[in-house]
């Protein structure tokens, strides 16, 4: 359009962003779009035209009318989350643009949708440009088209030339590699969401996050059970309270990650996994037999040891402050000088722990612990802990 209207791409961008442009260029672009420029421009007297603002809202309505009637009217959007799954068989290039706005503006207004796509085609210079998918999270739109057209769109957004389209500000843009499959593209978009918005408390169970860079991201209390995190870079990530049961962490880098309260039952950790000795020990305790294990002086503060079998283990001088020991078996465990401050001991089973003072036992019982060798507690042992 820039070439046919004898103007620059910057001018085209201004036109679609409803910013003032020279009158003769405005007329030329309207002609290219088969619009009656005199009807859609709100012009002041000639001597004031240089500072006038063009009536782009009216132009938007007229454009919608023309495009709705024209031969290139685009498909009506009806799905509440995604739509237009039809793929462009001749092109693998895709561009994801995130806009600020209400997704229903596009879904419930086919005329606006048609005008929107027409403008994006004009800005990119690519009439083959199509909308492949629209998702929530502001308005995340996946376009397919020629490599040149999508690259042009990306450059205009990154350079600041194109900052909004039909009143919808542009938040972000990402050109997807042409070699990526649909599954890989979904993975890229998911990672972008996690990085931009965090994923605290989010259900990411069974997702494929292998090899991704999630350094410093907030994944606290997220459900990552069964997720493939093999080779992932999780340095400095906040994984506090996350469910990593059955997750694949082989080769993952967890240096500096906050793993307080994480659940690691049946998680896969190998020699290539970069993880501190503290958390590797936790993984061993919950996945391997720890009966009579020597854990003297071990730092297990904040560790999730719920349901762990620590019977007969040497925990003398161990730091268990803030640890989750709910439902753990601690019968005959040696606990002299162990730090149990703020530990969760609900339904933890103690017994034959002669080194514990009566005051400590009373405090643990008050917090929900069970002592099999104390009258009144034995009947509770018959009730299995459900955690």
What is the side-by-side order of every strand in the sheet holding 370-371? Answer: 329-331, 349-351, 370-371
Q: What is the 3-state secondary structure (H, E, C) of 271-324?
A: CCCECCHHHHHHHHHHHCCCCCCECCCCECCCCECCCCECCCCECCCCECCCCE
Asked if 301 and 280 count as a contact pair (C-beta separation under 8 A), the reply is no
> Which residue did the predictor score with more confidence, 256 or 91?
256
CATH class of the domain comprising 94-182: alpha beta
Please determine, for residue 384, whether its predicted confidence score (pLDDT) is greater than 80.
no
List b or e across 196-210, with b for residues whose CB sees 16 or more CB atoms inside 10 angstroms.
Answer: eeebeebebeebbbb
Strands 139-144 and 94-99: antiparallel
pLDDT tens-digit map of 10-60:
566 666 666 666 666 677 777 777 776 665 564 444 444 433 333 334 333
22 closest CA partner among 32, 10, 34: 10
Please determine, for residue 254, whether its predicted confidence score (pLDDT) is greater than 70.
yes
Percentage of the chain modeled with pLDDT above 70: 73
pLDDT tens-digit map of 202-238:
999 999 999 999 999 999 999 999 999 999 999 999 9
- Range 198-286 has CATH code 3.30.1130.10: no
pLDDT (average), residues 357-386: 74
pLDDT (average), residues 342-351: 96
- Range 289-387 has CATH code 3.40.50.150: no
The pLDDT value given to residue 39: 59
pLDDT (average), residues 363-385: 70
Q: What is the mean pLDDT of the chain?
A: 79
Domain spans, the chain: 9-69, 94-182, 198-286, 289-387
Strands 370-371 and 349-351: parallel
The pLDDT value given to residue 54: 35
The pLDDT value given to residue 343: 97
Please determine, for residue 181, whether its predicted confidence score (pLDDT) is greater than 60.
no
pTM flag (> 0.75): no
The pLDDT value given to residue 74: 31
Q: Is 335 exposed, middle or buried (0-12, 13-18, 19+ CB in 10 A)?
A: buried
Check for a shared fold between 198-286 and 289-387.
yes
pLDDT tens-digit map of 50-93:
333 333 343 334 333 333 333 333 333 322 222 223 333 334 57
The pLDDT value given to residue 187: 83
Please determine, for residue 241, whether its predicted confidence score (pLDDT) is greater than 90.
yes
pLDDT (average), residues 310-334: 96
Please determine, for residue 279, whether its predicted confidence score (pLDDT) is greater than 50.
yes
Whole-Å CA distances, 115 to 60, 103, 295? 7, 15, 68
Q: Is 271 exposed, middle or buried (0-12, 13-18, 19+ CB in 10 A)?
A: exposed
Whole-Å CA distances, 332 to 120, 279, 292, 313? 72, 24, 9, 8
């Amino acid at each position: 359009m820039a070439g046919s209207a004898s103007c620059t791409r910057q001018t085209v961008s201004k036109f679609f962003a409803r910013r003032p442009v020279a009158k003769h260029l405005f007329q030329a672009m309207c002609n290219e779009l088969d619009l009656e420029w005199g009807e859609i421009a709100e012009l002041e007297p000639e001597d004031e035209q240089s500072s006038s603002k063009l009536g782009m809202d009216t132009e938007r309505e007229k454009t919608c009318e023309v495009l709705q009637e024209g031969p290139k009217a685009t498909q009506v959007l009806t799905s509440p989350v995604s739509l237009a799954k039809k793929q462009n068989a001749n092109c693998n290039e895709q561009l994801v643009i995130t806009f600020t706005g209400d997704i229903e503006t596009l879904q419930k207004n086919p005329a606006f949708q048609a005008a929107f796509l027409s403008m994006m085609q004009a800005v990119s210079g690519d009439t083959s440009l199509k909308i492949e998918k629209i998702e929530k999270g502001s308005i995340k739109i996946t376009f397919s088209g020629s490599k040149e057209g999508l690259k042009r769109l990306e450059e205009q957004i990154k350079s600041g030339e194109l900052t909004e389209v039909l009143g919808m500000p542009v938040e972000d843009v990402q050109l997807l590699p042409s070699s990526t499959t649909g599954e890989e593209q979904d993975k890229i978009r998911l990672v972008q969401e996690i990085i931009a918005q965090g994923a605290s408390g989010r259900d990411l169970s069974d997702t494929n996050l292998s090899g991704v860079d999630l350094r410093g991201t907030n994944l606290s209390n997220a459900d990552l059970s069964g997720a493939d995190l093999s080779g992932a870079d999780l340095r400095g990530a906040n994984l506090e309270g996350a469910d990593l049961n059955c997750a694949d962490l082989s080769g993952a880098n967890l240096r500096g990650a906050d793993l307080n309260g994480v659940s690691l039952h049946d998680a896969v950790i190998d020699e290539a996994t970069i993880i501190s000795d503290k958390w590797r020990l936790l993984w061993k305790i919950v996945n391997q037999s720890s009966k009579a294990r020597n854990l003297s002086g071990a730092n297990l503060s904040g560790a999730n040891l719920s349901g762990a079998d620590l019977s007969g283990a040497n925990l003398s001088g161990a730091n268990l402050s803030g640890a989750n020991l709910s439902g753990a078996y601690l019968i005959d465990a040696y606990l002299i000088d162990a730090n149990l401050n703020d530990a969760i001991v609900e339904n933890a089973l103690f017994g034959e722990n002669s080194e514990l003072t009566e005051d400590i036992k009373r405090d643990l019982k008050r917090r929900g612990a069970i002592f099999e060798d104390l009258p009144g507690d034995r009947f509770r042992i018959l009730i299995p802990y459900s955690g």
